[in-house]
Amino acid sequence: MIHSVLLVILMLFQATPASTGTTDLSALSVRKALEIAYRQNPQINQLRYQIRAQEKQEVLSFGISDPEIKYMREGIEGSDFTEQRWSVSQSIEFPLTGVYRTRQERSTTESLELNLQDLKNQIKADVKTAYAQLAYTLQSGNLAGERVQLFENLREAAQSRADMGESSEIDAMQADLQLQEARNNQEATFKEIMNARYDLFQIIGLDPEEQTYDIAFTDTLSYMIVTIDQDEVMEQLQVHPKLKQIEREMEASAYGKKLAKSTYLPDLNLSYYRQNFGNNYDFYGFEVGVSIPLWFAARQSPKVQRANALQNATEWKYEDNRQLIKKQAEQTWHSYESAKNNIERFRENIQTKSLQLVQMTQKGYSLGELGLLTLLEAQRTYLRTQEAYYQTLRDYYLTVIDLERYLQTDIIFN
């Protein structure tokens, strides 16, 4: 079982160069994962079709009704008097009404387009986050393999010393128990790798038939110095797609209010006709009519009040989202700053000392100068340090990925 686990982990770590074609999944980079997600994500595709439908709604918002063709005939039975008429009539709403409706629909379309941009940014962050989590579990798999190797070497050394009478058999038994624990840890890490793979596949919408074990993941967690200024993050919030989207909603609601007020204005009705009073169609005429908002208390006035309430609600929605995004951006930046400081401490001091410690104790144990417990504690310290380093590196990546959404730019995995 251990042998098969190692084989699968080795396949997952295989560094195959990424192909430029999206159909070739022998290697899956972040870039290719994003291409798949943008193409197959259900939410993105749903919003794309909503935008397409809304664009057609713009065309339908001009307020042009179909003309009416009418024929009229009347007369007294038994009499020669007969009147006939052919007429063509056209209803036309007040021009401002159509203008305001068209602008309202256009603002709604722009709002949906900005919503799509914000959704893509969210999907990008989700894909990068899932990939970073997978890269972390893959690195944990490497560390689990190193743990097994360390305790295999320790068991051999302890058994050799026991065979030569330099230590008791208890040391060899304890070393063997540590080795078995390391192997159990490797099994658990393998399960985490599988779960992280499926999480990434689910986010990008990868077809189950394409989710094979021979897919290599080419992007890894490697520390890179990224300096992000807090003031720059706060300034970029002014052009955040979510806030710009709500601004377009506010614009649409303002036009909706003007549209409601324009219903007080009269609509027009034009009619042109040919008329026959019994001889022939010798007469031509026309009619012009206007609508009178006589029942404004039951029709126009509630429309205006409703539009005004919707506009106020949208303004409060903007303020709520503005404060929420500002808070989230500030919290994310402070998390980034903390993770950055932690990772630098690991790289400058802790990692080097923990490695030196385990090397010195291994040498001391082999020379008989140190006991097994001292070596075990040194190895555990080294392994804990390595695990904490990779956890901190993962957290550093995740905070930078979050900040990318506010800065509207790619920083890592680009």
Q: Mind listing the pLDDT tens digit for each residue in 296-335?
A: 777 788 888 999 999 999 999 999 999 999 999 999 999 9
Find the CATH number of the domain harbouring 200.
1.20.1600.10
Q: Give the chain's mean pLDDT.
A: 83
Q: What is the CA radius of gyration of the chain?
A: 37
Q: Is the pLDDT of residue 19 over 50?
A: no
Averaged over 184-203, what is the pLDDT? 91
Q: How many CA atoms lie within 13 A of 126 on its CB side?
A: 16
pLDDT at 58: 87
Domain that holds residue 123: 2-17+30-407
Whole-number percent of the chain with pLDDT over 90 = 34
pLDDT band at 160 (very low <50, low <70, confident <90, very high): confident
Residue 414 domain flag: no
Residue 23 domain flag: no
pLDDT band at 273 (very low <50, low <70, confident <90, very high): confident
Residue 24 domain flag: no
Query: Which residues 6+ apart lie within 8 Å of 73 measured at CB?
Result: 82, 83, 84, 85
Of 408, 110, 401, whose CA–CA distance to 244 is shortest?
110
Total of domains in the chain: 1
pLDDT at 123: 94
pLDDT tens for each residue of 75-110: 666 566 677 788 899 888 888 888 899 999 999 999
Residue 93 domain flag: yes
Residue 343 domain flag: yes
